[in-house]
Amino acid sequence: MGIKILGMGSYLPEQRLTNDDFTKFVETSDEWIKTRTGIAERRMAGWEPVWYMGAEAAKKAIAEAGIAPEDIGLVIAATATNDFHTPSVACLVQNAAGAVNAAAFDVNAACSGFVYALDTARRFLETDESMKYVLVVASEALSRFLDFGDRSSCILFGDGSAAAVIERSDKPFASALGADGSGAPLLYARSVGVAEEVKVESGYDDGFSEKRLHKLYQDGKEVYKFATKALPKAFNLAADKAGISAEDIDWFVPHQANIRIIETAAKNLGAPMEKFIVTLDHYGNTSSVSIPLALCEAVGKGLIKRGQKLALVGFGAGLTYAAAIFEY
């Protein structure tokens, strides 16, 4: 059993931060950022809540799908930057979007989160016949966790949200979800309330650096190495299940972390760059949002059309990776 995306929506905070803006607080340049990452600008949420951005994207997706919000059976939110430890973003979106009959929970698989959530949604639709529609929302405000003194990480990320309403279809669907928890200390942000003292008092070394308490820490080089392998690996695992190859894919919608990662993956997969949707130049890396945002934009521009075969491929903190192959 497969899925059909009935409608999509996105919401982006208005504030734009260009590469030149960063030169005011770290030693960097537009030229370095563009050449090493492909990013030109990104959006910043300020204090706009993650759930609010998610709800705005969800309302647009529901309107485009042309369904009643009461008919949604489940809301799954992908996020790594929830405004609350509890409740979930999904519960707040459920309420704001009027999905009064839906169950709701969050998925935290960082930048692979949307693909994890989409695959989970498909499994719910497959096993519960009473469920008509699932709303999958990704929403992030990474800017709240950035160390704006660390030039190697703060220039990479952006904020925003995107959502999709899905229903079951009889078209093929293949997915592969994976993780390597041994790489967790390479990219993380420790929860507020868990201070260094906890580690010291307990005498327990959890292997995480304390350099950036409660801020995002990334070992860029190691994550880069992981990403260039994880992208083709996740795709190939899903493609093997589907019995297809890269040639059969009309559009790759990869996680938008760095243009060089996408170019390397394209080369390794033997697929032309023209088949890869790229939005990181204007949104940066929006973690779980990057894939549905790119998908939503490409559909809106008329690039991705009904009946075309898509490969969504994510990778990120955890470390996690995930791919889903299906027809739009």
- Per CB under 6 A, residues contacting ligand UT7 are 28, 32-33, 36-37, 111, 151-152, 155, 220-221, 223-224, 227, 257-258, 261, 285, 316
C-beta neighbour count of 86 within 10 angstroms: 7
CB of 18 to ligand UT7, least distance (A): 13
3-state secondary structure of 285: strand
CA distance from start to end of the chain: 14
Cα–Cα distance, 174 to 196 (Å, whole number): 42
User: Rounded to 5 degrees, what are φ and ψ at 37?
Assistant: -130, -30
Cα–Cα distance, 153 to 221 (Å, whole number): 11
Distance of CA 297 to the CA centre of its chain: 14
Cα–Cα distance, 62 to 6 (Å, whole number): 9
Q: Which residues are catalytic?
A: 111, 255, 285
Q: Which residues pair with 149 in a beta bridge?
A: none
CB of 7 to ligand UT7, least distance (A): 27
Q: Using an 8 Å Cβ cutoff, are 114 and 292 in contact?
A: yes
244 contact partners, CB below 8 Å, separation of at least 6: 309, 325
Amino acid at 88: S
* CB-based closest residue to ligand UT7: 220
